[in-house]
Amino acid sequence: MKVVLGKDLLAANENKAAKNRELFDQAGILVVNLISSPGSGKTTLLEKTARFLGGDLKMGAIVGDLYTDRDARRLSEAGMVTVQINTEGVCHLDAKMVARALQEMPMVSLDLLFIENVGNLVCPAAFDLGEHVKVAVLSVAEGTDKPAKYPGIFRESGAVVINKSDLLPYTDFNVKNCLDDLRGIKENMAIFITSAKTGEGIDQWCKWLRESKGNMI
């Protein structure tokens, strides 16, 4: 019985996600679902992205957090239109939450919309929000073995950002082993090694976003 309820829950979410995606397609917005564990640097990565692409693309962010609107305020200051979702204990966003947030988002004026999911590498992988692509963010401070331990989210992602590369000299993170694990999970994903603090690799990440947006036309 529990399995049936789970299937019903996911089916209802997929139906709402399909409606969200239809709205995104009609508006011509590229939607990126950004997923990571807490502390990977998602918000700082988006701040850098906003400043790098702000002259070319109009960007918005739906920000999911258990509590507070601190990340949303940071992204608003960086130039993004933001809407906050506080889940108050729920470990992931779902398509219904996103649909409600879209009522406050001026989609007709946007080119690119980020959904910054709740910090978690497990639950968000199962929930389609209507996005065009999931992007997993991994920081070098978390350890080399995250892809091997949490393959589900990396298998679902179209791209992976290995962030905080400025910390590589101070960790035992093995870039080659991590890349090998990622390629073993999914061969055709885009992979970027970045430092949202120093700006390393942000140009390549933003180039991929710009090209992904262009491919929608």
Mean pLDDT of the chain: 94
Q: In what order do the strands lie in the sheet with 81-86?
A: 81-86, 59-65, 112-116, 30-36, 133-139, 159-163, 190-193
The answer to pTM > 0.75 is: yes
CATH class given for the domain over 2-214: alpha beta
Q: Where are the domains of the chain?
A: 2-214
Instruction: Give the residues across from 191 on adjacent strands.
Output: 160
* Residue 6 predicted with pLDDT over 90: no
Whether residue 48 has pLDDT greater than 50: yes
Indicate if the pLDDT at residue 18 is higher than 60: yes
Contact at 8 Å (CB) between 37 and 59?
Answer: no
pLDDT band, very low/low/confident/very high, at 120 (cuts 50, 70, 90):
very high
DSSP symbol at 195: -
Q: What confidence tens digit (pLDDT) does each residue in 153-183 have?
A: 999 999 999 999 999 999 999 999 999 999 9
- Report residue 202 as tokens: 């942000």
Residue 83 has pLDDT above 60, yes or no: yes
Alpha carbon distance 160, 120 (integer Å) = 15
- H or E stretch covering 122: none
Residue 1's pLDDT is 41
C-alpha distances in Å from residue 112, one per residue of 58, 123, 148, 210:
6, 24, 31, 9
